Structure 1
């Protein structure tokens, strides 16, 4: 007489859930985004300060250069932080879907 196949829940899994890697942290993304946003605010403040001080000084080119460099660096930092956050969230969702769990 033939035997009936029996299945065990989770028996088709290729690994244990405990062996799964942790999802990347979003803390660096939060720090980079905050630093970039505050840097953009500071560069705006320095630009206004340069406009106020320009009648008193003949050469304020270095202030303009500092403002431009700070604005570019801050924008890159903010964009990088947002990109890392998106990557970390997508990775966490994929990991949760693979493990059959809810993302944290």
Structure 2
């Protein structure tokens, strides 16, 4: 999904970023989780994202793309390999399959 933040100034990458969804596909589209690191950054976007509080607003576009196990035989063995933050979409897929 894409998250657009108003008030981001001076970030060479602009005021929007794409994130992988962290919650299962079976969860209501009204609530979706994304994953990001919370650490000091030179990025005005990242600092704005890290400073959001409950009730703050952002524009969310999506979800975009489709990364699922739909169409995979139920008896098939599946191996998922990821490093670092790349684990995020795999968590969503696993939780969806376990639901």
Q: One fold, TM greater than 0.5?
A: no
Quick check: which one's strand share is greater?
2
Please classify the TM superposition score into its range, dividing by the shorter chain length.
under 0.3
Please give the TM-score of this superposition, normalised by the length of structure 1.
0.19
Please give the TM-score of this superposition, normalised by the length of structure 2.
0.20
> Over alpha carbons, which structure has the higher Rg?
1
Quick check: which one's helix share is greater?
1
